[in-house]
Structure 1
């Protein structure tokens, strides 16, 4: 039976933490990730020490681990630990290369069955997307038609104008309509996972361009839009 995750990092059972830090199991929620000792996990998986993994914010430590992993990322893309697979996402981005190749290599992570890896991959890719926004939108527009809802969700999530744990995308805060090639194919998506991402995208945009969001949702209402998207996209505008 799958365990129920602790409600806070301090409440994660010792035996669970030992298994997670050894790279033998996957996390079941964010509390477990925040409770982990990345230095211990790194030593268990890589076999050597890595400075800086024991302190600081979790996204910074993920990025640092990816930078240290570097070219070895492919060795760990199927690792049992979701956290290690997350490191591999950051590592692939750190290695660099043309954006198309980077995104293609990240695509399996975007389809990962674990929720955490699906978050780490878009967070890892965010900087490259911001740096080459027009090209990223061109590439990711095709992902909006992918049969896998996880891939479709990535296309929306990685381009959200705002974020809590990530850099904002100033260009899309100012001109959110530039993201329409990605969003239009998703307006009637049948997956709630995708619907929530699209709604959050528009809710982000509404904080800087509220009239545009109102107009878009109204236009979509004429041609078809998932009710969940329409309601959630407007939630901040109705406050």
Structure 2
């Protein structure tokens, strides 16, 4: 950790993978430790400089939403409390400060190989697709939509999952072909239910959740659960409701200002 910014964690556990933001460590055959660094990425490039406390924001928001939405969909989180983590994994005691606020002890699951995106407003890559072909997730859309227009009902817009590189938007039929109709329908239903519950809660507090992506996994017992992160500034577009104005891009509380700067 340099100057309060954690660019990369180094813990005395087997490192399974290092993603754009998180390190995933093996605790035992049924448990993982996810550590959210302060790295920030845009356009599939990880910036050299971190953002102070970013990892803690991602982790604490995820912990909040996992708990709030557990009646909608079970999740992988066991605890995000550093003291509880150290109590369960004593070898991490000397790394308490590194874990504080940014680590999640989680159930192990096999990751579903699709990003489950839900769009309540047309923005970003969805707006680009619509401008190009008049479609969203490969399905025809009404003519005359403007950028940032609300989509009612929200649309399930899956994408391939890439640990490195660019996720590609795909059709629902592509998910059906890859996973079978029953699993694809379960993913779509769970994604829409999670989004709508989060959207309604945020709307009461002046925040529009324009879109978001969920990741799912299956436990060894075959249970489908939501994993990784949920409704964070890295996985969602958050807009201030009092400044919402369709027809152009919106001010946002997420990575969009960085994307706009780099573009």
Q: Taking structure 2 as the reference length, what is the TM-score of the superposition?
A: 0.24
Whose RCO is larger (CA < 8 A, sep 6+)? 2
* Structure 1 or 2: more strand by fraction: 2
Q: Taking structure 1 as the reference length, what is the TM-score of the superposition?
A: 0.25
